[in-house]
Amino acid sequence: MTPTARWACGAGAPPPSRRTSSPLPSPPLPLLLMLALYYALPGVSSVGDYDPCAGQASVSKSDGFSLGLAFYPGGAAEAWGTLHPCPYADRAVLAARGVATMVFRTALDEMSFLRGSPKDETALMASVPGAQMMTMVAYAGNGSAVVRSQPRLIHATAASAIISGSAVGRVNSLTLIARFDQGTLEYLQWHDMGCGTCAEGDACMPVGDAHSACMGTEEACTCTGPTCLLDLTTTASLRCHLTVATAFSGTDKHSVPLTSGAQIERLGKYSATAAAGSTGATAMAQAQSLRDASGK
């Protein structure tokens, strides 16, 4: 499923995500982009329904669920510290540092592919003079607290920004699993898919916590002309910006198991970028084929 998106302000033992008390109303982080709706959102009655920091307690399978991705140009993973895009004080600090967020409206237990555009990713990186890296976290609220993932490195323009690496470039796929207990979000965990499915010409980047991911090299992603490795006017451009494959595990508020988290492991045979394809329709068709293969 390709969810609604708008730019605004692996599996392992929990907790790789941070929870804090419910946030106060807070100043918005910079608004960058808004994409069109790709599917109907029943029950959405106000702008607040899209705010991932708002209370989203006790949800059922197929209910709408808002999820945010926050991007920190020039900030290493360590720079996040305990900062979270939701609480008032943290939000103000992050906004002052140039952090921007992308907000998605997904459906609980639907496999989703979250992404912006190469143009916006490049512009955000350039918005902080001298930035040589960009990191990202996922975040959402659960009604009584706010949950944040561990940071991931997604873009590096200098080898010094990468631990034990020399190639520079842009991560093109990460995998996120949102874990629920009785319909309440507990954790946002990255699933390490590794680099076994990288396309020819891509490199492998350490992204944090001993995880790695495929990346389009900076040379390939900034090249223009007929001799370039990638034709950025085609679906090859997906190798030059981030797609986050997102799935769910645990139980909804009626104790119904959430199964898309298990299905996401099937993407080990593909990259999330390839699964998502060039359009929302392709993404939904791929996700449906994975569900059909699992018999769900």
Q: Is residue 15 part of a domain?
A: no
Contact call for residues 199 and 271 (beta carbons, < 8 A): yes
Burial degree of 127 (CB within 10 A; 0-12, 13-18, 19+): middle
What integer pLDDT is reported at residue 25 of this predicted model?
41
Asked, for residue 294, whether it belongs to a domain, the answer is no
- Taking CA atoms, 130 is separated from 73, 74, 156, 161, in Å, by 10, 7, 12, 12
Question: What pLDDT is stored for residue 201 in this prediction?
Answer: 86
Question: Which tens digit of pLDDT belongs to each residue from 231-260?
Answer: 888 888 888 889 898 999 999 999 999 999
215 within some domain:
yes
Pairwise CA distance, residues 186 & 7, whole Å: 24
pLDDT of residue 277: 55
Assigned domain for 289 exists: no
Give which of 184, 172, 174, 133 is closest to 19, Cα–Cα: 184
Is residue 5, in this structure, part of any structural domain at all?
no
Domain region containing 218: 55-276
User: What is the number of domains present in the chain?
Assistant: 1
The amino acid sitting at 91 is: R
Give domain status of residue 209, yes or no: yes
Other beta carbons within 10 angstroms of residue 43's beta carbon come to 8
For residue 44, being part of any structural domain is answered with: no
Q: Residue 187 falls within a domain, yes or no?
A: yes
| Each residue's pLDDT tens digit, 103-151 | 888 999 998 888 887 788 889 999 999 999 999 999 998 877 889 999 9
Q: How many CA atoms lie within 13 A of 47 on its CB side?
A: 2
